[in-house]
Structure 1
Amino acid sequence: MASSCATMAQPKTISSINLLFMYVLLICLGGRIATMAAATGDYENGNEHVGVCYGLLGNNLPSPPEAIQLIRSKGIRKVRLYDPDAGVLNALRNTGIQVNVGVSNDDLKRLAEDLDFAKDWVQRHILAYLPEVDFRYITVGNEVFGTTAEVHAQYVGPAMGHVYDAISSAGLQGKIMVTTAVHMAVMGTSYPPSAGSFSDRAAPFMRPVVKFLVDTGAPLMLNVYPYFTYKGMRQNLPYALFTANSDVVYDGQLRYRNLFDAMVDSVYSALERYGAGQVRIVVSESGWPSGGENDGFSTIENARTYNQNLVRHVAQGTPKRPGTPIETYIFALFNENQKTPQGTENHFGLFYPNMVPVYPIDFS
């Protein structure tokens, strides 16, 4: 940079010297600023709508400080945690990363029945890290309905209420939102998207959850996996991977070229049927496995295609909510060798445990 500045043509007058000096100084400062920005990585240029799910079900994962530094270096500004792990929360101090922290399904019953326990949970896992950790959401339970965790489903609504009360007691209502994460098992109808509705069996679970979200202004966390839908139907892989080059689904005035949008919009339709169209959806998980089964579509190339297109797409919104970006968390940061059942569940990571990328992806 200095040599390029030194080779500028020599000025011929005093006034031109001053003008040229200012011009050269601006050029050099601009180059210096660009160099400094490059040196800090692409964190400031990251996609503000995209985060990553950071799970810990592996016995060979890097330390939390190493993992958080990796997240920052890739320009990722949001992270979802499934448990309030102290090592991870300490590593997140003063990073500026927005945190979506989970409540274990095993804690739901006690949180629902004991407000003092909820206040203690908030004190130990939230207040103890403020203001250095930027908490945005507390996700009370993950995929409780429609899984083996459904024995806890009756406790989700009351647990959310007690956690919210504890947050409010600390004066943090509106700053940290309380929600829960569901998946498509709550749906009775999802096709076409405009016909989306929650199932009758899910209604006792979903109605109090949705009412709580309406009352508090919090979003619904939704785990969205076109991969599993495609796996079940084996039809139209481009539609699942965001690579269809023409409309696939015609739903009244709405047109769909990708399955992700159709799934999200079906849940928006279900919320509207509950009179809760104002509730925002945050996609708390979405991804595609890079291996684990010899099925021809759980591949590195398909995983890269899906996740790269997902990063690029979410800022556009969906046909029902055009122009409204979808806050989305990619599942997952690492391949986790202790996830069960063994197979594709161990191959959703963007990175191997040694922090080498499974495939290249641009988060900007």
Structure 2
Amino acid sequence: MANRSFISIVTIGLLLSFIVSVPRQVESIGVCYGRQGDNLPPANEVVELYKSYGIGGIRLYDNNHDVLEALRGSNIPVIIDVLESDLTVMASDPAAASGWVNDNIQPFSPDVNFRYIAVGNELIPGSHPQDILPAMQNLQNALVSVGLQDRIKVSTSVSTNVLGNSYPPSAGTFSSNILPILQPIVAFLSANDAPLLVNVYPYFSYIGNPDSISLDYALFTSPAPVVIDGQLQYQNLFDAIIDALFSALENVGGGDVNLVVSETGWPSDGEEVATLQNAQTYLSNLINHVGQGTPKRPGIHIDTYLFALFDENLKQPQGTENHYGLFSPDKQPKYSLNL
């Protein structure tokens, strides 16, 4: 999770016994596996944790081979990120993209259930967003060359800062300054039947504008609709953000592009509303909700990855960033919720 500015209402208007079993309607709830800690268990124990709690997907922020080895035979769906440091050479040299696939995908396929390659995490806008699309194209061609293009989809993960307007959700548009970068990426996704990956944090929206956004709206606990958008009614901020993104995609010819929530979560410490109870409330309500779709797309399940598996003591800046884990580093669940 990168640093992000806050989305205001003006512009947008556990867990499993803990996770003893994932209900059928949310069978694709995944969890992001960040490793920025010096007290975390080894990869084989982590994969066993995913299996024992029935977690439906894993996001990896790098191509660590110990983790990939541990995932062999698990059938856990995988999002694997391309490191920012690899983007420029991968964008300019098709052989580098082919080498990345040959080194990190082919040796583990079909024993590892790769689903998406995320080419960059929250790099639009960023220092070199112009590298993202050519890197995606070169990776796509590399997958085609080894016959994996139908099984593994190439995308990029963006933050909700790509939205220029998101209130009301039906008026969602991408920011004009990123359109030259993002519009051809959307066209690529549409042509290759790939989703856009997006990191969605109602927590940041709330703390950025608590005078305009109610905590209930951010936590899925509002007793009544908060935003009325024509015939659509929004009772939670998560749906409003997702539908604003769908509207923005439609506005650039990407109405057939789906969304995958590649990160979402709520910290349990570090700020006034970053409490164990609020995190428990957000996570449990989210898990129960995402299988229902949104007001704009009812009944359409949104694949969702929770951030993150562990509290990571080396995450920077210190504070809330260290308290997103569903588990403590000793593998004990932080939440005690019945579904």
Please indicate, yes or no, whether the TM-score normalized by the shorter chain is above 0.5.
Answer: yes
Correspondence for 1:74: 53
Check the 8 A contact 2:197/2:260 in 1, yes or no.
yes
1:49 Cα deviation (Å)?
2.1
Matched residue of 1:151: which SS? coil
Check the 8 A contact 2:143/2:149 in 1, yes or no.
yes
Instruction: Find the partner of 2:108 among 129, 154, 161.
Output: 129
Higher relative contact order by CA 8 Å / sep ≥ 6: 1 or 2?
Answer: 2
- Kindly indicate whether residue 82 of structure 2 is the aligned counterpart of residue 103 of structure 1: yes
Check the 8 A contact 1:64/1:91 in 2, yes or no.
yes
Q: Give the direction of change, closer, same or farther, for the CA distance of 1:208–1:352 in structure 2 (3 Å limit).
A: same
- State how far apart, in whole Å, the 1-side matches of 2:193 and 2:329 are: 37
1:46 Cα deviation (Å)?
9.3
Check the 8 A contact 2:165/2:174 in 1, yes or no.
yes
- State how far apart, in whole Å, the 1-side matches of 2:239 and 2:97 are: 36
Correspondence for 1:61: 40
Instruction: Find the partner of 1:201 among 177, 181, 194.
Output: 177
- Runs of 4+ residues deviating >6 angstroms: 43-46
User: What 5-or-longer segments of structure 1 have no aligned partner?
Assistant: 1-40
Check the 8 A contact 1:105/1:152 in 2, yes or no.
no
Tell me which amino acid in the other structure corresponds to 1:342. Q
Instruction: Find the partner of 1:118 among 87, 97, 113.
Output: 97
Correspondence for 2:158: 182
Q: Deviations over 1:200-256 (max 9, x none)?
A: 101121112101101101000010000000001113101100011111100001100
What TM-score comes out, normalization by structure 2 length? 0.91
Correspondence for 1:215: 191
Matched residue of 2:79: which SS? strand
Correspondence for 1:255: 233
Correspondence for 1:354: 330
Correspondence for 1:22: none
Instruction: Find the partner of 1:244 among 213, 219, 222.
Output: 222
Q: Give the direction of change, closer, same or farther, for the CA distance of 1:271–1:44 in structure 2 (3 Å limit).
A: closer
Q: Which structure: larger Rg?
A: 1
1:283-362 equivalence runs, <5 A: 283-293=261-271, 295=272, 297-361=273-337
Q: Deviations over 1:149-205 (max 9, x none)?
A: x11211000000000000000011111000000011111101110110001101121
Correspondence for 2:253: 275
- State how far apart, in whole Å, the 2-side matches of 1:48 and 1:137 are: 17
Correspondence for 1:35: none
Check the 8 A contact 1:183/1:222 in 2, yes or no.
yes
User: What 5-or-longer segments of structure 2 have no aligned partner?
Assistant: 1-19
- State how far apart, in whole Å, the 2-side matches of 1:47 and 1:268 are: 20
- Please provide the CA RMSD for this pair: 1.4
1:42 Cα deviation (Å)?
4.2
1:43 Cα deviation (Å)?
7.5
Check the 8 A contact 1:47/1:75 in 2, yes or no.
no
1:47 Cα deviation (Å)?
3.8
- State how far apart, in whole Å, the 2-side matches of 1:266 and 1:47 are: 22
1:361 Cα deviation (Å)?
4.1
Q: Deviations over 1:98-145 (max 9, x none)?
A: 111111111110110010010010011100101110101111100002
**Number of aligned residues:** 318
Correspondence for 1:10: none
1:306 Cα deviation (Å)?
0.3
What TM-score comes out, normalization by structure 1 length? 0.85
1:10-89 equivalence runs, <5 A: 42=21, 47-89=26-68
